[in-house]
């Protein structure tokens, strides 16, 4: 996401060579990646992609990880056909690009996805996770949408919603200590506001030495020193969903 003074150096990181175990479907006006567990379940998780879009293999890898933990996982194209950000794009154009992709204006698409999950998949308990741009979208939904049960915001850009902290549902916030895009003072400020205003369970967790995108954009085999934190972040995400769904 963009900073106030400069475009964000949002690095795509280690692009996973991963095909995915799910399938692509059309849900009304939205394309989506869906993966279902072998056993039937009434629990689902909406996975909200980062600026690199719904087709990024890394994000689908996390969706499939949710499925191995017993959830139906759906990763819709919340850019609705508008192109994802490409690493080759000029960062000077990022703010202009982001204007047409507002993480706080996805309610129509979320309603369509919720209807699909209830009507086509038989789900009753639905949570949401999101990365970067999607992490900001999770915070928006946790403030507004009554139909979701829990959320996990992974390095969601705080300043998009930093004046709002009265969450409706239990929310876990995951941040990296060395995130160039989200300064620690913003994280501290968020935590203070949550402490003052939030009536539901929440947790703000900072992972030592970690940079933006560490949970889904880093490969453990390439970054052995980060492996414990990558694994811990993923485990914390699953445990939060297990607790509240």
DSSP state of 83: P
179 carries an active-site annotation: yes
Catalytic entry in 50, 64, 179, 236:
179
Provide the 3-class DSSP secondary structure of residue 94.
helix
Q: Which two tokens stand for residue 205?
A: 């967790």
Catalytic entry in 49, 169, 212, 216:
212
Query: At what angle are helices 227-244 and 57-68 packed, to 10 degrees?
Result: 50
Q: Are 74 and 34 in contact (CB under 8 A)?
A: yes
Q: Are 73 and 41 in contact (CB under 8 A)?
A: no
d(CA 127, CA 125): 7
Q: Torsions phi, psi of 25, nearest 5?
A: -130, 165
Strands 72-76 and 202-207: unpaired
Candidates 130, 141, 154; CA nearest to 108 is: 141
Catalytic entry in 8, 35, 75, 132:
132
10 carries an active-site annotation: no
Q: Which residues are catalytic?
A: 132, 179, 212
């Amino acid at each position: 996401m963009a900073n106030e003074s400069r475009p964000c150096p949002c690095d795509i990181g280690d692009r996973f060579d991963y095909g995915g175990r799910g399938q692509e479907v059309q849900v009304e006006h939205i394309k989506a990646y869906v993966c279902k567990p072998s056993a039937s379940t009434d629990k689902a998780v909406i996975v909200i992609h980062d600026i690199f879009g719904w087709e990024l293999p890394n994000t689908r890898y996390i969706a499939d990880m949710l499925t191995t933990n017993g959830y139906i996982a759906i990763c819709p194209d919340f850019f609705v056909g508008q192109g994802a950000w490409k690493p080759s794009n000029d960062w000077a154009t990022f703010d202009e690009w982001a204007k047409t992709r507002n993480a706080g204006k996805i309610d129509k698409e979320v309603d369509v996805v919720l209807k699909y999950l209830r009507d086509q998949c038989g789900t009753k308990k639905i949570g949401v996770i999101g990365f970067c741009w999607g992490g900001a979208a999770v915070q928006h939904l946790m403030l507004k949408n009554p139909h979701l049960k829990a959320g996990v915001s992974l390095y969601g850009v705080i300043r998009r919603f930093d004046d709002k902290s009265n969450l409706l549902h239990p929310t876990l916030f995951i941040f990296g200590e060395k995130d160039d895009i989200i300064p620690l003072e913003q994280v501290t400020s968020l935590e203070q506001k949550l402490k003052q205003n939030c009536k539901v369970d929440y947790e703000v967790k900072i992972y030592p030495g970690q940079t933006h995108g560490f949970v889904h954009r880093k490969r453990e085999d390439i970054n052995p020193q980060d492996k414990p934190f990558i694994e811990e972040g993923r485990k914390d995400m699953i445990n939060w969903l297990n607790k509240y769904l």
